[in-house]
Structure 1
């Protein structure tokens, strides 16, 4: 990066520093599918063991997952999402919805049912007015707002 560059402060960039890599987000996906054991994560993601180990350590250090020992001889652990990690479910469903619409429109590979019994069709809404979040004009405010 050039010395005179002043990158925009941004929570998106900060988040991508932690989860913005294929094997990381696929490990989180597996946890949402109920997969807790390392060998199954390797199999289901296609990640190499050393890469997945590094990604899981990064997620643990960031407080997104926690390890729990399930065997002492030999020592073995399984992985669980923390409250912070469970909040990534909204991110995953948004990515899935986009992929279903723009990459796999004829045959989405996975569909989720909501607790109401219907197929899940996630929508991000404004907590104040209830309208879709991306509807209308946006005015950025705060320290990440730089000149255009």
Structure 2
């Protein structure tokens, strides 16, 4: 069944999911943020079929999330690196990681946590803040349509 495109939707969440909403794309972006650049390394780390990985990488390049560059070691292979648009998704990946760490593990179950690369301490939980700096609760956030970006 062909997926319906959400490209023209008024909601930015819908448009974003249209672009990167499948789990493979988000996991590829997560790995790219961790420094993975080569097809074979993505394939090994994700344990994804080569044809699936190829299709996802191609789409992420077409969407301006990744770009291909010559291999850093001068080899014949190309590498995939995040564009500025791709790097900007780091906040989304961190938010998903923090939510998953809080709600997807049993007490005492081992998992991973994102840390500050410099001091190796967990990243402070992402908070939603108003323009005046107040921390907002879920019921204090609303959507306003018709706003120009």
* Residue deviations 1:67-106 (CA, integer Å, cap 9, x gap): 01228x9741111111111111100000001100000253
**Residue 97 of structure 2 contacts residue 114 of structure 2 at CA under 8 Å; is this kept in 1?**
no
Q: Which of 111, 114, 132 is matched with 1:109 structurally?
A: 111
**What is the CA RMSD across the aligned residues, in angstroms?**
2.5
Instruction: Determine whether 1:63 maps to 2:64.
Output: yes
Work out the CA distance in 2 between the residues paired with 1:29 and 1:43: 14
Give the TM-score taking structure 2 as reference length. Answer: 0.79
| Residues 83/119 of structure 1: CA separation in 2 closer, same or farther (3 Å cut) | same
Work out the CA distance in 2 between the residues paired with 1:125 and 1:116: 24
Work out the CA distance in 2 between the residues paired with 1:51 and 1:10: 28
Give the TM-score taking structure 1 as reference length. Answer: 0.80
Unaligned runs of at least 5 residues, structure 1 = 1-6
Q: Which structure's relative contact order is higher, taking Cα pairs within 8 Å and 6+ residues apart?
A: 1
| Residues 52/121 of structure 1: CA separation in 2 closer, same or farther (3 Å cut) | same
Matched residue SS, 1:66: strand
Tell me the residue number matched to 1:48. Answer: 49
Tell me the residue number matched to 2:16. Answer: 15
Tell me the residue number matched to 2:143. Answer: 140
Unaligned runs of at least 5 residues, structure 2 = 1-7
How far apart are residue 135 of structure 1 and its match? 4.7
Larger displacement relative to structure 2 (120-129 or 25-34): 120-129
How many residues are treated as equivalent by the alignment? 137
Q: Which has the larger radius of gyration?
A: 1
Tell me the residue number matched to 1:3. Answer: none
Work out the CA distance in 2 between the residues paired with 1:36 and 1:120: 24
Instruction: Determine whether 1:123 maps to 2:130.
Output: no
How far apart are residue 142 of structure 1 and its match? 1.5
Tell me the residue number matched to 2:5. Answer: none
Matched residue SS, 1:80: strand
